[in-house]
Structure 1
């Protein structure tokens, strides 16, 4: 394939979308590796860090904020609760709702998660300028908006 070939003519494994997906998988694997000895994966660490940062939240709020399904979020919270890293408490305003809050053990563990996250992000961004990161973020936001439109159209036609 020559440099002048149009991106759409490229084989599937060379298209931008494939590169984005492969990069996302590699990022997830890198985080999972970094958190492995903490007995956490990226999803569990994300829930733990989110609750540490925002305080007691409903499972539904956590799911929406992190872009996860409610059932998947519930399973992640179960794992964290079994390890005494978070606990569920009844919402005083609505007894039907459970609030998830971080425990002391969770706070201690999330500090190590933050340290490892900072180190890995520095490594991932090596050789990439702030301006390049901002440009990439802007392109990814536009791509995300396009995807949202495509998904909305598909829902309307089904």
Structure 2
């Protein structure tokens, strides 16, 4: 049964990304780029390395995404005053209204996905998925500590 749950969660996440990307295609912003923007709104001034770890992509992949977001004038790199080799990442003023639009799009996808569910069912679903995430996160951290 656990394989079925894992498959369902993974397949559902894939379908969420597909629905989100279809709705944002005209803006040129993907679901992964949206995650970068959201993390930057939560962690202004983060370095690229730690951000790559947070969103679980290779640093070179993140670097390319940041390049595109910088070209679109949504993200800016600033020199790290404590390390000449490092860059700190910040959202630009132009990113703020876009983030609002992306959050609305995300909510529209959630509304579509949970159509026909009561508010209580939606809350229960969110709580159960959060518990699964917390369980896996805790186990991943424990394994990383064991190998360190």
TM-score normalised to the size of structure 1?
0.72
Partner residue of 2:56?
67
Please state if 1:89 is matched with 2:78: yes
Partner residue of 2:39?
50
Partner residue of 2:106?
117
CA distance in 2, matches of 1:18, 1:59: 31
* 8 Å contact kept, 2:76–2:89: yes
* 8 Å contact kept, 2:16–2:109: no
Q: How many residue pairs end up in the alignment? A: 146
Point out the more displaced range, 63-72 or 132-141. 132-141
CA distance in 2, matches of 1:108, 1:146: 34
Question: Residue deviations 1:96-128, cap 9 Å, x none?
Answer: 210111112222322221222222222222233
Please state if 1:23 is matched with 2:12: yes
Point out the more displaced range, 97-106 or 58-67. 58-67
Structure 1: which 5+ residue stretches go unaligned? 1-6
Distance 1:60 1:103, change over 3 A: same
* CA RMSD, Structure 1 to Structure 2 (Å): 3.0
Distance 1:130 1:64, change over 3 A: farther
| Aligned match for 2:88, one of 80, 92, 99 | 99
CA distance in 2, matches of 1:121, 1:138: 15
Partner residue of 1:36?
25
Structure with greater Cα Rg:
1
TM-score normalised to the size of structure 2?
0.76
